[in-house]
Chains A and B, each alone.
Chain A
Amino acid sequence: QQQVKQSPQSLIVQKGGISIINCAYENTAFDYFPWYQQFPGKGPALLIAIRPDVSEKKEGRFTISFNKSAKQFSLHIMDSQPGDSATYFCAATELINYGQNFVFGPGTRLSVLP
């Protein structure tokens, strides 16, 4: 029930195309759903996040779509650029004990071809 599933494992997109990464969860106590971007040799950095009371959030070329009933959420990268080439992690979190239970998906390696 703690698992966050993520697909695809890897994704190759042409410059200017749309990149779509999907995630699914089971734990209905999760109340915050962030996406992190990680470049090689660096720590993950928050890209965009959404709460379950909203169905969509857009920040620039990045959009999260959230389907609470299906327990699924996805990241869309419009007009993908070579600089977007990185590993993307979805995550879900809930408050527990003294802290937060952050559960990450296994990651999607995105390559944007020039």
Chain B
Amino acid sequence: NAGVTQTPKFQVLKTGQSMTLQCAQDMNHEYMSWYRQDPGMGLRLIHYSVGAGITDQGEVPNGYNVSRSTTEDFPLRLLSAAPSQTSVYFCATARDRVYNEQFFGPGTRLTVL
């Protein structure tokens, strides 16, 4: 039972490159979300999904795309990376949108040069 897994753990990109951060969960949770964590700013919600085929924007969605084709996976896409997207990215899951406890993955540290 792996819980929430994220790949890669570390990534360095050049400005303008694209990439996908992977998130997978084996807890059969409906609700999944992506956050970015920056020093002194806590975690900020990028996008979330309440189930396969349903996604919505959070506080800081610009520059990021998501899709949810299965319950287990919720990838985050950076279409054209910018230095402002240098951050640590966390994926989180919850049983459903009403159940409040979120379970976080180990994070992906992204640096954009």
Contact = CB atoms under 8 A, between A and B. Distances in A.
Interface of A: 2, 4, 6, 9, 32, 34, 36, 41-46, 49, 89, 91, 93, 95, 97-102, 104-107
A44 B90 contact: yes
Interface string B91-102: 010100110111
A49 B102 CA distance: 11
Contacts of A106: 40-42
22 contacts: A9-B40, A34-B100, A34-B101, A36-B104, A41-B107, A43-B105, A46-B103, A91-B42, A98-B54, A99-B31, A99-B48, A99-B50, A100-B48, A100-B94, A100-B97, A101-B45, A101-B58, A102-B33, A102-B102, A105-B42, A106-B41, A107-B40
User: How many B residues are at the interface, by size bracket?
Assistant: 20 to 34
Contacts of B56: 97-99
B97 A49 contact: no
B104 A44 contact: yes
B31 A44 contact: no
Q: At the interface, is chain B mostly helix, strand, loop or mixed?
A: strand
A46 B43 contact: no
Nearest to B100: A32
- Across the A-B interface, give the 9 residue pairs with the lowest CB-CB distance, nearest first: A43-B104, A104-B42, A104-B43, A99-B48, A98-B50, A32-B100, A106-B42, A99-B97, A44-B104
Q: Which interface residue of B33, B58, B102 has the most chain A CB atoms within 10 A?
A: B102
B6 to A, nearest CB: 8
A91 B59 CA distance: 14
B42 A89 contact: yes
Contacts of A95: 97-98
Contacts of A89: 42-43
B54 to A, nearest CB: 6
